[in-house]
Amino acid sequence: MTATSPWTTEKPTALLVLADGTVIEGKGVGAAGKVQAEVVFNTALTGYQEILTDPSYLGQVVTFTFPHIGNIGTNDDDIEDLTPAARHGAVGVIFKADITEPSNYRASRDLDDWLKARGIVGLSGIDTRALTAWIRENGSPNAVIAHDPNGIFDIEALKAEARAWSGLEGLDLAKVASSGQSSTWSQTAWIWNEGHGELGDGEAKYNIVCLDYGVKRNILRLFAGLDCKVTVLPADASADDVLALKPDGIFLSNGPGDPAATGEYAVPVIRKLIDTDIPVFGICLGHQMLGLAVGARTEKMHQGHHGANHPVKDHTTGKVEIVSMNHGFAVDSKSLPEGVEETHISLFDGSNCGLRIAGKPVFSVQHHPEASPGPQDSHYLFRRFVNLVRERKGEPALAER
C-alpha cells in the first residue's frame, strides 16, 4: 500500500491510519472517537458478535474478510465477555459493506447501535481483501482508527499517534480483561429453541477454579454442562487463593496481551499449582502461560491466527479438527523442554497448538475448543479434562467423542 490509499469515499467520516503513514478512508460506523490498536483480520463467516466480545481481542481492531457483516443483528445471548458492562473485547472494527438491517428472529438490536453502545469505533466501505493481503505480507500493524461524523481529522496528529503506540508486546492486558472479583458460574450451553440451561443447586459433581485472564462465557457454559461448578478468580489471584477453594480441577483461561508480561505474576502461581498434581487445563493465553511455566518461550507472530476455519491435528489421536483461533502470540515448540509433549499443531504453519506434561494431569491448547466451527470438533477437550478429574476420584472415564 502507498502512503495515500486509493480506497476512498466521497466524504470520509472514518480513517484507519497505520504506523507507516498509510491513510485508509472509509465511512464511519459504531462509536465516534479514536483508539490506538493493532489491526488483525478474521476469516470467520459468522459469529461476529462473539468475536467482538471476545476479551482476547482487547487492544485490537478486527478486519472482517467476509464482506457482509451485521445482517443478523445482535442479541443478549451471543456475548462472550464475562462483564459486558466493562465492554472487554475488540476496540475497533472494519467492514467492507455497509451494515444492513437485521433479518433474524433472535435479533434485538441493530449492529451499528450495538457498536455505539459498546464504544467500538469502526469504518466500512474499504477494500478489506487488499488490507488483508497487506497484513499477510507485512504483519499486523499498529494503527489509529478514528470516526468523526463530520469528517474532521488532524491526519498528521493521527499519524504521530499511530507511530507512537508501543503495541501489544510487553503489554499485560489480562488484569484489564479479568472480571476482577470472585464469582460462580452455573449457566449451561444454549440449545436451539430452548435457550440456556442452569446447573441447579446440588447438581454439581466437580469443583473447578478458573483463573480469569479474560475468560469467555461459553467456556464456563461447557464446564457447567459437564456437572462442574466453576468459581472464577481474578487474574492476579494467588495459589493459596485457588487451593483454599479445594478444587477438583484448575482452569487457565484465554485472554489478551503479551503472555510474557502477564506471566510475570501468573507463572509463579501456575508452577505452584502444577506441583499439587490437581488437574490443570489451559486455553489460549492460559496455554501460553502454561508453556512459560514449564520453561518454554513465547513469541509474537507475524499476523497471528484469527478465524474459524483453522485445521489443527491432535497427535494424541491422529485426528484433524477444524477450530476457532484468536491469538497473536504462540509457544515456540522448539523451546519445549524434556518431559513436555507437543500434542497439537496447526496444519496451516506447523506452529504449536497444544502441550501436556508427562506424568502429570496437566495440558493446554492454543485454539478455542468452546467455539463451534467444526461444528464441535474440539468439545472433547473439556471431557478430556473432566476425565482427569474423574480419574483422580476413582471414577470411570466419559467417552471423549
Tens of pLDDT, residue by residue over 87-137, are 899 999 999 999 999 999 999 999 999 999 999 999 999 999 999 999 999
Instruction: Tell whether 141 and 230 lie within a shared domain.
Output: no
Residue 7 lies in a domain: no
Decide if 110 contacts 69 (C-beta within 8 A).
no
Q: Which of 210, 228, 284, 353 is catalytic?
A: 284
Residue 182 lies in a domain: yes
SS3 content of the chain, % helix, strand, coil (to 5): 25, 30, 45
Q: 384: which residues sit within 8 A by CB, 6+ positions away? A: 363, 400
The number of distinct structural domains making up the chain is: 2
Domain end: 134, 164, 194, which one? 164
In a 3-state reduction of DSSP, which class is residue 110?
A: coil
Residue 183 lies in a domain: yes
Instruction: Tell whether 182 and 114 lie within a shared domain.
Output: no
Instruction: Tell whether 200 and 159 lie within a shared domain.
Output: no
Residue 401 lies in a domain: no
- Which is nearest to 248 in space by CA: 283, 287, 204, 195? 204
Whole-number Å distance between alpha carbons of 251 and 370: 13
Domain end: 130, 164, 198, which one? 164
Q: What pLDDT score does 374 carry?
A: 81
Q: What pLDDT score does 83 carry?
A: 82
Instruction: Tell whether 183 and 147 lie within a shared domain.
Output: no
Instruction: Tell whether 102 and 241 lie within a shared domain.
Output: no
Instruction: Tell whether 109 and 188 lie within a shared domain.
Output: no
Q: What pLDDT score does 208 carry?
A: 98
Angle between helix axes 259-274 and 285-293 (nearest 10 degrees) is: 60
Residue 105 lies in a domain: yes
Residue 44 lies in a domain: yes
Domain end: 164, 186, 201, which one? 164
Residue 3 lies in a domain: no
Whole-number Å distance between alpha carbons of 339 and 334: 13
Instruction: Tell whether 287 and 139 lie within a shared domain.
Output: no
Instruction: Tell whether 88 and 180 lie within a shared domain.
Output: no
Instruction: Tell whether 78 and 196 lie within a shared domain.
Output: no
Instruction: Tell whether 142 and 207 lie within a shared domain.
Output: no
Q: Which of 50, 161, 370, 379 is catalytic?
A: 370
284 catalytically annotated: yes
Q: Which residues of the chain have pLDDT under 50?
A: 1-5, 7-9
CATH number at residue 334: 3.40.50.880
CATH number at residue 150: 3.50.30.20
Residue 340 lies in a domain: yes
Q: What pLDDT score does 4 carry?
A: 46
Instruction: Tell whether 148 and 207 lie within a shared domain.
Output: no
Range of the domain at 27: 14-164
Q: What pLDDT score does 3 carry?
A: 44
Instruction: Tell whether 76 and 23 lie within a shared domain.
Output: yes
